[in-house]
């Protein structure tokens, strides 16, 4: 049984039990242990997790309005997310990146995937072939880069990797981001260590990404330590999470060494690279992609019950909340009907006419923003260069980004207005309560 199936089956039994008590929790924990261990999660980590889940499930008092079952699901979800690691958020700014890892870990593929990722964020990214060890390494990166329109530098006649890096930095100096693909070995050794140190000196990178294949399971922990001792890594990229049942083992082992995970590789195509998010990963395993949203709502309701309307009104409207609202709104049907349902017939005509296509475009644009921009719209209102970067990253025109910003401002005004309108607020609250059922009949 794979990890997801095992976890879902254990959780189903728990939520199907008549009562959440010591017996049902202990049974659940035993099944959880079997599943994790058979999927190559380290035994010590598994026992640590079990203890925490048992303690919290049986001793913590659920938040007001949260049933004991929901509480246990929340505990399991949180503790599993902690086990699977923490995120390293790459900076969306000019930088140099060194890729490290053993043979076949996915370095070369991920190098080009990353260049495309940065391109998608409006940053020009080139790659350097510094794997001078393996025959044909040069051609592999060159072809992949060419196919994906990524600037490439390599020198087949130069055996010293550090030299190639120095040349490449000059040749690719018009790029914002430069990514160096280094050579691996079948196992970590002194020769590789020396080579990496010399490349590192020549490059002086901001990021050192260790690339690890998920199929090595918990051995990933030791590997992270070995590399980290040679050149301090800034974070790890776990590849081949699509094809391996040992992903949970690899992630938890890396996390236990204190290393963070920046990206995960989920396939051979260039698009198959995702920013790592342990909650999202666990949500997928458990089969509740919306669990986090759900828990967020749980949390908000309990917080809101203690807030005065004045405090509520002060809550900030950001691009992040805007994107979330777009998503939620679209689930409910065409905008016009939604507003109509709320009795908001005096909405500006412009807004009523927003088509699906336009909303899609908005989402793409918001995706190209940095987290800081999503939290603070003022950063954008003032900065033409930011708007231009976002336009490049999202494949839109600067006018379209400007348009989104100006519509966002209108929405912001409207939100403020609605917050003062008690009737509207009541209707919203009613709607939110209607949507609060647990999935799967829990």
Q: Please give the residue ranges that form the binding site for Mg ion (CB under 5 A).
A: 107-108
Residue 184 CB, shortest distance to ligand GDP, in Å, is: 5
Which residues contact residue 64 at a Cβ distance below 8 angstroms, ignoring those fewer than 6 apart?
A: 302, 305
Which of Mg ion, ligand GDP, none does residue 194 bind to, with CB < 5 to 8 Å depending on kind?
A: none
Asked if 185 touches ligand GDP (CB under 6 A), the answer is no
Is residue 101 close enough to count as binding ligand GDP by CB under 6 A?
Answer: yes
CA angle 293, 295, 297 (to 5 degrees): 70
Give the per-residue contact string, 286-305, with ligand GDP (x = CB under 6 A; - = no).
Answer: --------------------
Residues 56-85 that bind ligand GDP (CB under 6 A): none
User: Least separation, in Å, of the C-beta of 180 and ligand GDP?
Assistant: 12
| Contacting residue, 24, 35, 39, 105, with ligand GDP by CB under 6 A | 105
Cβ–Cβ under 8 Å, residues 107 and 181: yes
From the list ligand GDP, Mg ion, none, partner contacted by residue 242 (C-beta under 5 to 8 A by kind)? ligand GDP
Residue 186 DSSP symbol: S
- Contacts of 306-315 with C-beta under 8 Å, sequence gap 24+, read 309/422, 309/425, 312/419, 313/416, 313/419, 313/420
Q: Which of 104, 287 has the CB closer to ligand GDP?
A: 104
H or E element, residue 319? helix 319-332
Under a CB-based contact definition with an 8 Å cutoff, are residues 63 and 72 in contact? no
| Interacting residues of 151 by C-beta distance below 8 A, sequence separation 6+ | 124, 125, 126, 127, 145, 172, 175
108 contributes a contact to ligand GDP by CB under 6 A: yes
242 binds ligand GDP (CB under 6 A): yes
- Give me the helices (H) in 86-174, please: 107-120, 137-147, 161-171
Pick 53 or 161: Cβ nearer Mg ion = 161
Q: How far is CA 178 from CA 124, 153, 164, 245, in A?
A: 9, 10, 13, 33
How many CA atoms lie within 13 Å of 207's alpha carbon, on the beta-carbon side? 28
Asked if 49 contacts 85 with a C-beta cutoff of 8 angstroms, the reply is: no
Q: Choose, by CB under 6 A, the member of 235, 239, 255, 259 that binds ligand GDP.
A: 239
In contact, 380 and 405? CB cutoff 8 Å: yes
Q: Tell me how far apart the alpha carbons of residues 420 and 425 are, in angstroms, rounded to a whole number.
A: 8
The least distance separating ligand GDP from the CB of residue 99, rounded to whole angstroms, comes to: 8
Listed ranges 190-198, 249-257, 263-271, 283-291: which one lies at the site for ligand GDP (CB under 6 A): 263-271
| 247 is an interface residue for ligand GDP by CB under 6 A | no
Beta carbon nearer to ligand GDP, 109 or 394:
109
Min. distance of Cβ 108 from Mg ion in angstroms? 3
81, 252, 266, 368: residue in contact with ligand GDP (rule CB under 6 A): 266
Name which of ligand GDP, Mg ion, none residue 266 binds, using a CB cut-off of 5 to 8 Å depending on partner kind: ligand GDP
Return the number of the residue (69 or 107) whose C-beta is nearest ligand GDP.
Answer: 107
- Interface residue list for ligand GDP (CB under 6 A): 101, 103-109, 184, 239-240, 242-243, 265-268, 272
């Amino acid at each position: 049984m794979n990890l997801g199936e095992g976890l879902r089956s254990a959780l189903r039994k728990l939520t199907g039990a008549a009562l959440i008590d010591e017996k049902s929790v202990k049974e659940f924990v035993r099944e959880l242990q079997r599943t994790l261990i058979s999927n190559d999660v380290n035994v010590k980590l598994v026992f640590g997790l079990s203890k925490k889940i048992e303690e919290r499930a049986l001793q913590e008092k659920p938040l007001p309005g949260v049933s004991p079952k929901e509480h246990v699901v929340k505990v399991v979800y949180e503790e599993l997310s902690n086990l699977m690691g923490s995120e390293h958020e790459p900076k969306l700014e000019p930088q140099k990146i060194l890729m490290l890892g053993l043979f076949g870990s996915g370095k070369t593929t991920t190098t080009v995937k990353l260049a495309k990722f940065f391109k998608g964020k409006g940053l020009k990214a080139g790659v350097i072939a510094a794997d001078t060890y393996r025959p044909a390494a040069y051609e592999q990166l060159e072809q992949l880069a060419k196919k994906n329109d990524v600037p490439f530098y390599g020198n087949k006649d130069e055996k010293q990797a550090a030299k190639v890096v120095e040349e490449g930095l000059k040749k690719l100096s018009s790029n914002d981001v430069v990514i160096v693909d280094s050579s691996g070995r079948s196992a970590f050794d002194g020769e590789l260590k020396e080579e990496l140190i010399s490349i590192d000196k020549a490059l002086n990178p901001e990021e050192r990404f260790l690339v690890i294949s998920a199929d090595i399971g918990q051995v990933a922990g030791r590997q992270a330590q070995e590399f980290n001792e040679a050149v301090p890594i800034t974070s790890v990229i776990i590849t081949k999470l699509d094809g391996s049942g040992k992903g949970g083992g690899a992630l938890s082992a890396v996390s236990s060494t204190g290393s963070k995970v920046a990206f995960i590789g989920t396939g051979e195509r260039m698009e198959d690279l995702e920013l790592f998010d342990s909650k999202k990963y666990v949500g997928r395993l458990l089969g509740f992609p919306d669990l986090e949203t759900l828990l967020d709502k749980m949390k908000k309701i309990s917080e809101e019950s203690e807030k005065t309307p004045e405090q509520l009104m002060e809550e900030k409207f950001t691009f992040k909340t805007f994107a979330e609202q777009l998503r939620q709104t679209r689930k409910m049907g065409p905008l016009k009907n939604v507003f109509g349902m709320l009795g908001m017939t005096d909405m500006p005509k412009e807004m009523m006419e927003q088509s699906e296509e336009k909303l899609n475009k908005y989402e793409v644009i918001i995706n190209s923003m940095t987290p800081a921009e999503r939290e603070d719209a003022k950063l954008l209102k003032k900065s033409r260069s930011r708007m231009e970067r976002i336009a490049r990253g999202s494949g839109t025109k600067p006018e379209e980004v400007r348009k989104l910003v100006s519509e966002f401002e209108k929405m912001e005004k409207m939100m403020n207005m609605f917050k003062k309108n008690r009737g509207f607020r009541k209707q919203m609250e009613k709607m939110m309560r209607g949507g609060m059922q647990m999935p799967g009949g829990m």
